[in-house]
Each structure stands twice: as structure tokens, then as C-alpha cells.
Amino acid sequence: MKIELKDTFITDNSTQCEKGCYFVKTRSNAQFEGHAKQAGAIIITPQKAYELAKIPADFKIIGITGTNGKTTTATLLAHILNALGLKCANCGTRGAFIGSLQIAPKALTTNQFLTTLALIKTSLEHGCSHFVMEVSSHAIAQNRIEALPFALKIFTNLSQDHLDYHKSFEEYAAAKSSFFEGEGKKLINKDDPHIRYNKANAHFYALKGSGAEYEIDEQNISVGSQNLEFSSHLYGRFNLYNILCAFSAADLLVPNKKNEIIAAIADFAGVPGRTELISKDPAVIVDFAHTPDGIEKVLSSLAFRPLIVVMGAGGDRDASKRPIMGQIAASFAKTLIITSDNPRSEEPQKIIEQIKAGANKATKGAKIITESDRKKAIALALSLVKKDEIIAILGKGDEDYQEINGVKHPFSDAAVVRELLKN
């Protein structure tokens, strides 16, 4: 990555270095400092790079971390801020956007420091005053967000994920908690007990009855004694948290605009690949849920009808969650079709068997089918679905590829559904 300055540039790639340029040294590239010096580069910290980029002091960066809900909350918050007349960029799992304009493709949930800084500069060039970004536990642990002056830090929730990297839930929770050690403004989900935080400048949101500053039920958002009726295209109990979190964040950032925020929530159509309704007849939902908690939340919100669930699990990731995901899915499903997700370097059938082992422990007695070809699995679900049943296709959301042995093959759950229904 390279950021152009007036007479030189900043880079984090030592092979780009030349005399008089700046090499921003981070945890991920520190081993190349000597090479950068040999090329004549000036070694700088991320803090110095941020100063050289001349980001205005009133530019507001909002960071959202948690296991689930980051993308929906970040996208909704950016939508609200734009609706309030404050131009806002949004960066995360889906890429980077300013409204409907995509300024960066899908990559890491949280980019390397200089890539994020470059996106901030791009958003400034487009007239943005706010920048909402998803913050992953990997990015926190690897110091990818050091030197970013967050105006607000947000916590959604914590459940099992990424234990292939963090080794234990306690280590995972500690990484997330370290994001909230400072005295800056923070917004915390009071209903989740897993996070630690500095109480200075902490604000709280929760479901009704928790005594939080911001509370929600199915009809109203409450702030103190004030009750605000709201409507939303999002559904499911888990989305109440996402809606309230975005409302609370917007209210903290732009006070005295509560009615305008409520109107913006009503106008929000949702996020592609997040409980996205692909077809009404038959009813087909596509969702990104890929953790035990995420699967439980999505399927519990759809359980008002019999469910056919299509799901797998990513390869080269936390294997311990696979049987748990299978058991949860089988406990909600009438029929569970276990298939391949992004197997990466692993054997798909091995992953499927690990999921199936958990599914067999479910007490409900769902019919369990395995089909490693994801397109065939989706086709099978469509052939089995009856009136008033819902097909839930989980794990990939709006991803447009399937990663197998290091190759990303074009694949979209939504596109496959539409193609099969058309044919």
C-alpha cells in the first residue's frame, strides 16, 4: 500500500521504498525495517503516518467490534449518519462504501493500518466527515488499529469464534476487551457479560428491563423517560440489538436528532447476505451466520415455520465449533442438509462429518442429509421445500466465491438460488 504526499509517499511495503520516502513500521512488517532503511526510507510509526496524512481533527472514526452484528450495525449506522446529512464511509467485511458507491472490494474485515488510512483519505476526498469501521479481534491483537483516534468504540456481543487463532475463549475475550481499555467514549451491550471495559465515558444499551441508558423492545426504543416508536425491515430478536446499537451510536454522535434517526431506521432496507430474503415463494433466506451463536439467533428468528437448513463450516478455522453448529442447526431444522462452505485446504467431507457428529446429538430428530456439492445441496433443498416452509442457507451470506485449495471459485448462494428457480 502507498499513500502519496506532496513530494514523497508513505508505504508499508519495503520493496516500494526509495530515498526520502516514509516506511510505516507495524507489527506485521517490522522484519523488513532493515531493507527499508537500506533503500533510504525514513522509518515512522503509525501515529506519525496519521499526522503526515493530515486527517482533520474533527474527522470522526467509529469502531465496532463483537462476534456477530458488526456488519449490520455498521451499515445501519452509516445509513443513519448519511440520512442526517453527515457523509459517512463504511468499511468492513463487505468492503468499503460511501452510500452505494463501493470504494474498496472485500478483503479483511479490518485492513492493515496503512490500507485503512488510505481509505480514510479517500473518504475525505469524497467529502466524508465520518468513517464507520468493523474491528476484528485479529486486528486488535495484531495492532492494526493503533494510532486511529476513535471518536466512539462499540461492542455488540461475544460468543465462540476464531479459537483457531486465539486458542481459548478467554484469550478471545481479552483481545476484544483490550479495545475498550482507554477513557474515550464507548458504547457497550449491557446484556453481554463477557467484555471488560474502562467505565470512563461508557454508555450502555440493552433489551427492556436492564436499566441501560438505551433500551428496546419490539415496538419502542427508550432513552430515559422518552419512548420512541420505531419500525424496521429487519426482523429477529438479534436485530433488535443491532437496531438499538446503531440508534444509540447515532444519538451519541449527533444529539437531539432522535426522530430523524427513527425515520432513517424505518428507511433502511437491510444488508445483502444478512437474513436476506432471496425468494418469497418458496421462502429462501441467505445469511452469513457461521458461529454457534449466529446460527442460533438466525434460526430461532425463523422458527415460526418448518425449516430446511443448508449449512457447512469454513476450513482452516476453529474446528471445535463445527459439531456445536451442527447440533444447534439440527435442533431447529425439520431437514438439515450439511454441505461444503469454504473448505480452503481441508477435505470437505471431513468438515461435513464433524458437523454431522454434532447434529446427531440434537434431541429434535431432524432429517440429516449430507451433500458436499453446495449447488446440489441448494437444489436439493429447493426440491424438498413445501408450502409454508423456509429454506435457510447459512454461512456465506453475500460472498461471491467458494475457496477451495487456495483458489476462489465464483459462487453466490443468492445467485444459485435465483438460477435454480428460474430453470
Tell me how far apart the alpha carbons of residues 320 and 147 are, in angstroms, rounded to a whole number.
34
The answer to whether the annotation marks 178 as part of a ligand binding site is: no
CB 86 within 8 A of CB 129: yes
The answer to whether the annotation marks 312 as part of a ligand binding site is: no
User: What phi and psi, each to the nearest 5 degrees, are found at residue 23?
Assistant: -110, 110
The answer to whether the annotation marks 318 as part of a ligand binding site is: no
The answer to whether the annotation marks 326 as part of a ligand binding site is: no
Q: What is the DSSP-derived secondary structure letter of residue 254?
A: S
The answer to whether the annotation marks 219 as part of a ligand binding site is: no
In b/e form, how buried is each residue of 371-394, taking b as 16+ CB within 10 angstroms? bbebbebbbbbbebbeeebbbbbb
Nearest to 393 by CA among 274, 232, 306, 303: 274
The answer to whether the annotation marks 388 as part of a ligand binding site is: no
The answer to whether the annotation marks 354 as part of a ligand binding site is: no
The answer to whether the annotation marks 395 as part of a ligand binding site is: yes
Nearest to 362 by CA among 275, 304, 274, 295: 295
CB 351 within 8 A of CB 326: no
Tell me how far apart the alpha carbons of residues 243 and 255 are, in angstroms, rounded to a whole number.
17
Which amino acid belongs to residue 299? L
Q: Is the Cα torsion angle 242, 244, 245, 247 positive or negative in sign?
A: positive
The answer to whether the annotation marks 72 as part of a ligand binding site is: yes
The answer to whether the annotation marks 343 as part of a ligand binding site is: yes
CB 394 within 8 A of CB 284: no
Q: Is the bond preceding residue 343 a cis peptide, omega within 30 degrees?
A: no
The answer to whether the annotation marks 19 as part of a ligand binding site is: no
The answer to whether the annotation marks 279 as part of a ligand binding site is: no
The answer to whether the annotation marks 317 as part of a ligand binding site is: yes
The answer to whether the annotation marks 341 as part of a ligand binding site is: yes
Rounded to 5°, the CA angle 152-113-60 comes to 25
Q: What is the CA radius of gyration of the chain?
A: 22
CB 366 within 8 A of CB 333: yes
CB 70 within 8 A of CB 93: yes
Nearest to 95 by CA among 83, 79, 111, 80: 111
Instruction: Find residue 42's DSSP bridge partners.
Output: 22
CB 45 within 8 A of CB 25: yes
- The tally of CA atoms less than 13 A away on the side-chain side of residue 301 is 20
Tell me how far apart the alpha carbons of residues 79 and 132 are, in angstroms, rounded to a whole number.
10
The answer to whether the annotation marks 301 as part of a ligand binding site is: no
The answer to whether the annotation marks 4 as part of a ligand binding site is: no
Instruction: Report the SS3 class of residue 50.
Output: helix
Tell me how far apart the alpha carbons of residues 61 and 214 are, in angstroms, rounded to a whole number.
22
Question: What residue numbers does the annotated binding site for meso-2,6-diaminopimelate cover?
Answer: 317, 341-344, 395, 399
Question: What residue numbers does the annotated binding site for ATP cover?
Answer: 66-72
Question: What residue numbers does the annotated binding site cover?
Answer: 14, 66-72, 109-110, 136, 142, 144, 317, 341-344, 395, 399
